[in-house]
Amino acid sequence: MTITPVSDHPEPVDDVILIDGHLLRLTDVWRVATREDAPAVRLAADARDRMRGSVRTRRDLTAGGPAPGEPGGGADRQGRAAALQRNVVRFLRVGTGSPAPDDVVRATLLIRANSAARGNSGIREEPVERLLDLLAHDILPLIPERGSVGAGGDLAPLAYVAAAVLGEGEVRHRGHEMPAARALAACELDPLELEAREGPALVNGTAFMAAYAVLAAVEAAELAFAAELCTALTTEVRLGCAAQFHPFPHEHKPHPGQCDSAARIRDLLHRSPAGGPEGGRTPDPHSVRCAPHVVGMLRDTLAWTGQWLTTEINSSNDDPLLDPEQPVAHSGGNFYGGHIAQAASALTSAAAATADLLDRQLQLVLDEKHSRGLPADLVPRMPEGHPAAGLHHGFGGARIAASALVAEALHLTLPAASFSRSGAADDQGKVSMGTIAARHARGAVRLATDVAAIHLMALCQAADLRGPSCLGPATRTAHAFVRAHARLLDEDRPLDADIEHLAHLIRTGTLRHATTSPTTSPSPTTSPTTSPTTSPTTSPSPSPTDRG
């Protein structure tokens, strides 16, 4: 099955992505990171012109002394610039922990190259082209996850990227770990020597934290859809009523994401048996009827964090910045990851709240006191005296796992930015901790997605026990999709592989793509690539990540 890019509004799918430091989209990063459609990445012509201008500025300034912002005294004048660059890269390779996932490393390479393409870093085209070569040949530096405070840039993580350009360090290539020099040679690429200031230009920036945050945001958009689908299914299998998602109350609390989420749930319940009048039914618990308010918060969070992340990945985020038009260096703090830290923490909180919502819905379905006639833990009923009666546990183990996943997601919601640490003899007196925050965001989104996978499996089990007549057209399509990947739980079996597989199908957009169609597709939405600047009754404004 083809996996589609994660976006609720179709964007151009280009065979070649041109980077120029201005127009990179979140979905571009996702496609490159996941190798979706294997797009090639090239430097735009205008980016080359700007980069050459900033190199001229750097060389003009270096002619009178050390390169701007670079230690080493007279090393440049003494012809030792290349040795200084190697040492800058080497002394910063102090990371610890497990290597970052491959998709994060690919995203890091792309974002760092795009930042350099703005033409303010004083770096030649050759090192940036080498970053794109690493992408093209899937030569992925082994970057330890830990070691960045998120100001001064992602110095430690990006030092491992720069080391690969120099032919140093370890990489993963074709599924094997090996020295970078060997991987470069296998692809007929030569290690590079760096000129003055090019070492700091590679290691100073927010590319690593941005990679985690962008991938978290794109995957969170799919989590939002999965949560809305689960809410629709929960309503149906508990014999609830779609009227609780009527537009009227949401129009009178018109948060765009809330209104959008309610509309999506209504559309998923279109022509469903749950679509009848509410009548005298007791309202569903908060975990069902407040779902648009919880998932809508996630969608609204994605709207503004998507704008911030789009700005970040299209910025010059190192220091100092060189004016390509005149020989001037501007020192500042663009390496500071505060916006990513704030965006990531908000995304973590919204994702964890969504996970908690899904877990509460799951308990309603599994608990016979609240499921309105479904058996406890969705164990299939067997006739008295059946040899397998009383031997099976249904989703009893999965409900425990879901609780553990939610607890861990909630644990990550403490804002990492609150723990700024002064370093470098107080030169780094205030740091963002954006890298930690971004790692937490992706962790929370993935934990929540695992909960969604468990809940989705349980809901399909409930539908099987209740009978197909309880579902409408859209949810019946979703049920058939799930059953194509995870069979009915008619006896105890390990569910770990099913959970992992369904979570992958959620994250990649495959579930959404398979479930929605022109007849079931909801009204315009907010996502990481859309803006919520309009009222719920108007068309959405252009995506901040659309070109042009």
pLDDT band (50, 70, 90) for residue 398: very high
The predicted-structure confidence for 334-378, as pLDDT tens digits, reads as follows: 898 899 999 999 999 999 999 999 999 999 999 999 999 999 999
On the question of pLDDT at 231 being above 70, the answer is yes
pLDDT at residue 388, rounded to an integer: 79
Question: Domain residues of the chain, as ranges?
Answer: 44-205, 206-316+350-379+400-417+440-548
Q: Which pLDDT does position 74 carry in this prediction?
A: 47
Nearest to 36 by CA among 528, 509, 500: 509
Of all residues in the chain, what percent carry a pLDDT higher than 70? 87
pLDDT at 381 over 90: no
**Order of strands, sheet of 176-179, starting from the edge strand that comes earlier in the sequence:** 139-141, 170-173, 176-179
What confidence category does residue 275 fall into, taking pLDDT thresholds of 50, 70 and 90? confident
Range with the poorest average pLDDT among 108-117, 279-288, 314-323, 458-467: 279-288
148, 310, 450, 493, 500 from 497: Cα distances, Å: 33, 34, 11, 10, 5
**pLDDT band of 2, cuts 50, 70, 90:** very low
**What distance in Å separates the CA atoms of residue 13 and residue 509, rounded to the nearest whole number?**
15
User: How confident is the model at residue 69, as a pLDDT?
Assistant: 65
Which of 72-76, 183-187, 266-270, 451-455 shows the lowest mean pLDDT across its residues? 72-76
Q: Give the C-alpha separation, 333 to 321, whole Å.
A: 10
CA–CA separation, 99 and 142 (whole Å): 6
Asked whether the beta carbons of 179 and 170 are under 8 A apart, the reply is: yes
Distance separating alpha carbons of residues 101 and 148, to the nearest angstrom: 16
Residues in the chain, total: 548
Distance of CA 288 to the CA centre of its chain: 26
**Peptide linkage before 327 cis (omega within 30 of 0):** no
Short-list 489, 234, 459, CA closest to 379: 489
Ramachandran region of residue 433, left (φ > 0), alpha (ψ -120 to 50) or beta? Answer: left
Percent of the residues in the chain that have a pLDDT greater than 90, as a whole number? 74
User: In DSSP terms, which residues pair with 492 in a beta bridge?
Assistant: none
Domain 206-316+350-379+400-417+440-548 bears CATH identifier 3.40.50.10860:
no
What sign does the CA torsion over 148, 150, 152, 155 have? positive
Q: Is the pTM of this model over 0.85?
A: yes
Chain position carrying tokens 């060189």: 322
**Alpha-carbon distances, residue 180 vs 128, 133, 137, 154, 160 (angstroms):** 17, 13, 12, 20, 10
Task: State the Cα–Cα distance between residues 480 and 49, nearest whole angstrom.
Answer: 53
User: pLDDT for 293-321, tens place per residue?
Assistant: 999 999 999 999 999 999 999 999 998 99
Of residues 493, 20, 54, 459, the one with CA closest to residue 227 = 459
Instruction: Tell me the two tokens of residue 472.
Output: 């409408």
CATH C-level class of 44-205: mainly alpha
Highest mean predicted confidence (pLDDT) among 23-37, 313-327, 344-358, 503-517: 344-358
pLDDT band for 546, please (50, 70, 90 cuts).
very low
Q: What mean pLDDT comes out for the span 385-390? A: 80
Beta bridge partners of 16: 40
CB 75 within 8 A of CB 88: no
State the chain's mean pLDDT as an integer. Answer: 88
Q: Is the pLDDT of residue 385 over 80?
A: no
Which of 254, 129, 120 is closest to 190 using CA atoms? 129
Residue for token digits 């964007």?
11
